[in-house]
Structure 1
Amino acid sequence: MKVILQRSLHADVRINHEIVGQIDHGLVALVGIAHGDTAETVRTIADKTANLRIFSDDAGKMNRNVIDAGGGILAISQFTLLADCRKGRRPSFTGAASPDIARELYETYADHLASLGIHVARGIFAADMAVSLTNDGPVTIILDSDEIIR
């Protein structure tokens, strides 16, 4: 599993020019589910997402997590995070989980974040989406379950 987190001042996702999810401030989470990922993997990465101290405190130090900062999370499924570009010029996506498994685990990730009291907005799985955000900082963090769990 790979998740790209971008701290944002505002973010939304649109399908056919219609907003289907948005947050005022918080994190945009681009979520890639890999072969072999499990509900346990996804919950562990969701806990890491919720508890990363990447928001400024009153002294300007990154000491607050998204919950402490009162932020939301815009979760977007993005299988292209699993692209393998080592050979040739066309990325291979064989490392990505099948759509039925990926959908279930993406929903598990978002549901677990919501269970922690975080406002979670979502894109639509497998839809062609336009994601807009105003990056704050900029702060961008990469979470890779191979590095965190395995």
Structure 2
Amino acid sequence: MKKYKTSETSSSSVQEPSTSYGYQNFDDVGIFSLIDIAQKGISFKIFDGLSKKFPFSMQDWADFLHISGKTLSRYQKEDKSFDVLQSEKILQIEMLYNRGEDVFGSSDNFLIWLQSENIALGKKKPQDLLGSVFGISLLMDELTRIEHGVLA
């Protein structure tokens, strides 16, 4: 499992000290800790580190988070924190990424799957489901099926 690093580490990892939110890895914390993290709000700095793992544009992220591209740019400019619902979605997408990386053995393989049309998902690309909590849940279920060899 990935461990999030402090600001002295690589730019592809979370850029804030883990003590600021009280976690090392979103997958390793309990549900109440995740709720607490979401209620405090994910800062743009944290989001920026997470978003760089994906090949999505800022407009894609704005669509996933149900905000305008202009609002997302303002968050970046002002280093603003996201609200609870947006923070929860960011956490869910990060947890999906970690799960996908574990199931596929690498981030590259997971990202290929995420961008490929999938028969089991009604010929949709998994990334097209990231704007919905139900869609993310469906993707987590699909990763479990893949992990156990149930492919359709």
Question: Which structure has more RCO (C-alpha within 8 Å, separation ≥ 6)?
Answer: 1
How would you bin the TM-score normalised by the shorter chain? under 0.3
Q: TM-score, with normalisation over the residues of structure 2?
A: 0.23
Whichever structure has more strand as a proportion of its residues is: 1
Q: TM-score, with normalisation over the residues of structure 1?
A: 0.23
